[in-house]
Structure 1
Amino acid sequence: MDDVTAGAQRSLMTSFDPGQQSPATELEEAENQLKIEIEEQWLKLNKLQAKLNQEKKIGKINNPECTMSQISEAKEKRLQAEIDANIKTSPSLLSTNSEVIEAVLLSDLQTCVEQLKQTLSVVKTQRRELVEETERERRLLKQHKEVKASIEEKIEVEQKIPEKSHDSELKNWEEMKKRWIEKQKNLMKNLGQFAKQHFPMPNIPDSKRKRHLSGKTVDDDDELFQLFEILEVLMNKSTGEDKHDPYVQVTSNFWPPYVELLLRCGIARRHPEDSNRIALTSYHM
């Protein structure tokens, strides 16, 4: 087997001429020669393994006389011997042919270059993402600084304003309440004068005990409300304790023409389910 391998190797080295063959052919022949040399080394390794198997063994694991400590000591000695052998021997190349070594190294170098190119692409992508993230963080930091400066400015302004006592605040609220009450009284007074002047009470003849007005019967004992009084009843209902139910029942005291006037002008509205109940229209300023 060794003679055949040596003959094939000599034939391959004789026919191997880098100046006459293409690079692909050179690489293929270099790989073939390297495979032959690997097979030779593998045969040597098998021979050494066979010799080791023929040598006297330390003992079997199942043997009670061979304890775990003895097995560990044997393994330790063997490892130490391998370490000493590796230290004393210098590393040798698998092939002595420079052409084969150059082809293998060139292939490994090309593989490394491709891997490094891929790594460079990944690194550039990560760097771009980090730059974008840094820009976002800088913008957020700038916004936070602006908010902080605005808050500090407001706090500084508030600290410069002298604090008012509780009594003075309460006094101001009481004065404001009095002013609003006085203003409300003036408005109600003006409203009453306007209603009395432009919407007087209806004249009911004393000779008639009863009178039908728009389907409602009015007795002479019933007192008709003025327009101002109707508005006052509606306002009290809408702003009182029962403001969740602002509707008022239309009785015989409500003169129908005044009720119709309030409805037509949009001042009052009817209940969607009961036409005999009206409420003041909500005005949202």
Structure 2
Amino acid sequence: MSSYQHDLAPTITSNTVYSIDAKEELLDECEEIWRQMEELSLLMVRVKALTAEYNQWQKRSPEIISTNPDVLVALGKEELQKVDHDLEMVLSTVQSKNKKLKEDMKREQQWLDEQQQLVDALDVTHEEMKNQVVQFSEKRTLQELKSKMLKIRAYKEELLSALGEFLEEHFPLPEEDESAKKKKKSPAEEPTVQLVTLHEILERLINKLMSTPHEPYLTISDSFWPPYVELLLRYGIALRHPEDPNRIRLEAYHQ
């Protein structure tokens, strides 16, 4: 996170977007701190190694290179100066890393404080918005539902009326043959079955489907004119029962 972001006033944004951005930014900074900790760990290992080496040199009896005391003192001073220089470099690096970590921790703490203030502000805003939401009463909701149902029923009646007019005009009942009209029936002869219109067949199928959707099939009666039944089956408006060809149902277009 750049330093100038902490000077800006927090902007209220979407909780989801803010949470994702904050999480990703926090993960990136944690990874950076972890990398620095690993470097520090390596430096500490090096310090321990140099310290151990130094202790070994302290315990070790060096081979006599020269019997001249001045030469031995000069070589010892030179070696000690090298070790001291290395230790000073390690110490300086460790102190610098510690200072950097302290600054990062301070900056992260400040950032967390700002985020907490932002969360608190969002909570207050959320509560205010909840109080401003208009609550519809149960009575008003029921009235609206009833009004919608009445409109749907009125529209349904209009559609059925228009469908009936169309079917009566284009699909009338078959006219009785002239020879059959002139033929007199005997008293013992059974009366002719009264055929129903295509409109009535469709209405029965619709009512059957809506009243008993689990059993939508309707038995074909003698009052159904066979050409109309075949018309409904041929154009996929009705379907036969898979096991009983004398039963049909309306195609479930609403599903």
TM-score (norm 1): 0.44
Where relative contact order (Cα < 8 A, 6+ residues apart) is larger, the structure is: 2
Q: Which has the larger radius of gyration?
A: 1
